[in-house]
Amino acid sequence: MVTTADYITPPLDDPYLFGQIAAANSISDIYAMGARPVSCLNLAAFPSNKLDNAILLGIIEGALEKITEAGAVLAGGHTTRADEPTFGLAVTGLVHPEQLWRNTGARPGDALILTKPLGSGVLFNANLKGWVSDAAMQACVDSLVVLNKAAAEVLQRFTVHAATDVTGFGLNGHAFEMAQGSGMTFAINIDALPLMDEAIAMYEKGMNTGSNGPNKEIAGSGMRIERELIWPHEQIFYDPQTSGGLLVAIPEQEAEKAVAALHDAGVARAAIIGEVCAYHDDVHLVYR
């Protein structure tokens, strides 16, 4: 049995969509361990003196839709008052101890697969200024509400040496944590990264997030960029994700078949983004 808790503040104004995204984000931690979600508890903070309770109901309805899709049940929860709405889930799941995925254990020669595109952090911030096209914003939301269920179920048919999900610490933070925990160096192919439409364009317009700087500092001197990049193209490494994809290390000989199987299952943006190397040059993360 594994248990995790996660929550987010609203990235958009639609309560139902917010509930869906928050639930998908919370349940993702269970999928990142190779487990099956079983039960969920609501964790809500809500300014009932400022907002109508119908908004809270909409959030919970959206979350329940994703909980049901995951095959889990909503068993209750807890709500407190706060100055702004915050919502998430405590989720319990089941997995056989010998089949548990950890964010350590990557081996030299493994391929790195990412199952969702990057860029939601800058898109949400830029959308507040009306900079993002309706089509790009809709594509972003569509990605975020998708559970990592299909991706996890496909990857369970392959040899997963290490796994995590890419969320608030961005690709840089989560990949570094996995590489460091494995005692390896992850080599990321910059050109292979799946990106959300207009994400780079928003950085080119000068948009940023409050998490990019701290997410870069997570790796510190343990990260190196081997290509000359302009500022907007580097920032996508640090972009904080909400309900991002799974990052897994699997044997190189299984990688192409795994990506093909992910695509067949509807995980259309899954891609091989790099490889695992023996630890070298005092860095755990290299962008090439």
- Calculate mean pLDDT across residues 150-170: 98
* DSSP-based three-state secondary structure for 130: coil
pLDDT-derived band at 8, boundaries 50, 70, 90:
low
pLDDT for 52 equals: 85
Which H or E element spans position 3? Answer: strand 2-8
pLDDT-derived band at 230, boundaries 50, 70, 90:
very high
Q: What CA–CA distance (Å, rounded) separates 172 from 230?
A: 17
What totals of helices (H) and strands (E) does the chain contain, helices first? 10, 11
Q: Residues 101, 151: contact at Cβ < 8 Å? A: no
Q: Give, to the nearest 10 degrees, the angle between helix 134-144 and helix 15-31.
A: 40
Which tens digit of pLDDT belongs to each residue from 63-86? 999 999 999 999 998 888 888 888
Q: Residues 175, 113: contact at Cβ < 8 Å? A: no
Asked if the model's pLDDT at residue 48 lies above 90, the reply is: no
Question: Of all residues in the chain, what percent carry a pLDDT higher than 90?
Answer: 86
pLDDT for 85 equals: 84
Distance of CA 230 to the CA centre of its chain: 25
- Per DSSP, the residues of 74-126 read EEEEEEEE-SS-EEEEEEEEE--GGG---S----TTEEEEE-S-B-HHHHHHH
Residue in the structure block whose two tokens are 């999928």: 31
Which H or E element spans position 44? Answer: strand 36-46
pLDDT for 244 equals: 97
How is the chain split into domains, by residue range?
2-99, 110-287
pLDDT for 110 equals: 98
Query: Phi/psi of residue 137, each to 5°?
Result: -70, -40
pLDDT for 129 equals: 94
Overall size of the chain counted in residues: 288
Which residues of 238-279 form beta strands (DSSP E)? 246-251, 271-278
DSSP type of residue 160: -
pLDDT for 3 equals: 54
pTM over 0.85: yes
Which tens digit of pLDDT belongs to each residue from 123-137? 999 999 999 999 999
pLDDT-derived band at 2, boundaries 50, 70, 90:
low
* DSSP-based three-state secondary structure for 283: strand
pLDDT for 6 equals: 58
**Quick one: CA dihedral 135, 137, 138, 139, positive or negative?**
positive
Q: Please tell us whether the domain made up of 110-287 is placed in CATH 3.40.50.300.
A: no
- Calculate mean pLDDT across residues 102-114: 98
Instruction: Indicate the CATH number of 2-99 among 3.30.1330.10, 1.25.40.90, 2.30.30.30, 3.30.300.250.
Output: 3.30.1330.10
Asked if the model's pLDDT at residue 231 lies above 70, the reply is: yes
